[in-house]
Amino acid sequence: MTDDVLIEREGALGRIRLNRPKAIHALTADMCRVVLSTLGEWAGDPSIEAVSIDHADGRGFCAGGDIRLIAESSRGDGSAARDFFRVEYAMNHRLFTFAKPVVAFMDGITMGGGVGISQPAKHRVATENTKFAMPETSIGLFPDVGGGWYLSRLPGRMGQFLALTGHRLDGAECLALGLATHYLPATALDEAKQRIAADPREIETVLGDLSAPAPEAAILAHQGEIDRLFASDKLEEILEALDEDDTDFAREQRKLLAQKSPQAMKVSLKLLLDGRAMPTFEDEMRQEFAVAAHVVQRPDIVEGVRAVIVDKDHAPRWNPATPEAVSDHVIDRIFAPLPADEEWNPA
């Protein structure tokens, strides 16, 4: 057990509360194990009718996963990173297949691992504080924890845009895109949680009663541009489209992509291309684990974490350094299935 996640029961409601505020509740392997074990217990417990996921203190819901551990492991044989991904993805899958209603409160920063722990929930609550993103291409990684499934199912090419740029969505934008099911003022969350605990069978009614009109979703004004500029599944063609488009929006995106890992961007595009046709979420997680297992044996994750999180010079030296240098052969090797005794399977 760990104090970094609090497990509580309030009547017929099981509560999972992330409790690592100094790291904005970023998930560790131990936190994932506790959540995984708890969900397994509650699945067969008739006294638990629903589950809620939120954070106990601090300014965000969940900022991601244990990136420092992943990068440090990648300097060696990557085994600790693989162990982390294995248990995290098992938790993601158990949430996705959990038969009882789950409500996730995405109040504040919801990124990376926070996306993975909230998107499987039937009820996903955004607020004016929500900052939702999958920024992994900045650190040489890719939008995992089911990102290939969720992002590939967004309207038009919105998923590709979000995966490549790491663009932050606010709560209203999450609602408009279907990443949130409800928009509540942050001041209404305590009442929502109290009423849900009093009668977990009334989650939908409670959230509906307390919902507020969301502001205009600014990202929708760019849907047409995104669909046109990010239309290709080839990174070089997207970059060419951005270079040829004489608009502030295109120039801004081109400047952003120049900072991202070329390898991570190509991996992300293929992940979404495959993800949209993936038969089941289990298949998605199995592929993402294989991709992650290969990526942590390559140099970009170490360099990305150094540049963004450790030294914070934001001047990564990617390897390969250009999109053209990331060959189809490299991508094929990254997406190669693992041997049967190493592949991911649900817990």
Amino acid at 260: K
pLDDT (0 to 100) of residue 58: 76
Could you confirm whether 54 is annotated as catalytic?
no
Could you confirm whether 65 is annotated as catalytic?
yes
* 19: CB partners within 8 A, 6+ apart: 3, 4, 5, 6, 25, 55, 56, 57
Amino acid at 324: E
Domain boundaries, the chain: 5-334
How much is the pTM? 0.96
Radius of gyration (Cα) for the chain, nearest Å? 20
Could you confirm whether 178 is annotated as catalytic?
no
CA 330, CA 77: separation in Å to the nearest integer?
A: 19
Could you confirm whether 112 is annotated as catalytic?
no
Q: Which of 14, 60, 64, 65 is catalytic?
A: 65
Task: Give the Cα-Cα-Cα angle 217, 223, 228 (nearest 5 degrees).
Answer: 165
Q: Which of 136, 170, 173, 288 is catalytic?
A: 136
Q: Residue 168: count other Cβ atoms within 10 Å of its Cβ.
A: 17
pLDDT (0 to 100) of residue 176: 98
For 25-82, the DSSP string reads: TPBPHHHHHHHHHHHHHHHT-TT--EEEEEESSSSEEE--B-HHHHHHHHHTTSHHHH
Q: Which of 14, 113, 140, 148 is catalytic?
A: 113
Q: What is the phi/psi pair of residue 208, to 5°?
A: -65, -40
Total residues found in the chain within this entry: 347
CA 284, CA 265: separation in Å to the nearest integer?
A: 18
Q: Which of 144, 274, 284, 288 is catalytic?
A: 144
pLDDT (0 to 100) of residue 280: 98
- Helices H / strands E in the chain, number of each: 16, 9
Are 88 and 29 contacting, i.e. CB atoms less than 8 angstroms apart?
Answer: yes
Q: What is the pLDDT along the chain (347 residues), one digit of tens a residue?
A: 689 999 999 999 999 999 999 999 999 999 999 999 999 999 999 999 999 999 998 789 999 998 999 999 999 999 999 999 999 999 999 999 999 999 999 999 999 999 999 999 999 999 999 999 999 999 999 999 999 999 999 999 999 999 999 999 999 999 999 999 999 999 999 999 999 999 999 999 999 999 999 999 999 999 999 999 999 999 999 999 999 999 999 999 999 999 999 999 999 999 999 999 999 999 999 999 999 999 999 999 999 999 999 999 999 999 999 999 999 999 999 999 999 999 999 97
Strand ordering across the sheet containing 109-111: 60-62, 109-111, 131-133
Residue 124: left if φ>0, alpha if ψ -120 to 50, beta else—which one?
beta
pLDDT (0 to 100) of residue 2: 80
Is the CATH number of domain 5-334 3.40.50.300?
no
Where in the chain does DSSP place strands (E)?
A: 5-10, 13-18, 50-55, 60-62, 102-106, 109-111, 123-126, 131-133, 182-183
pLDDT (0 to 100) of residue 38: 98
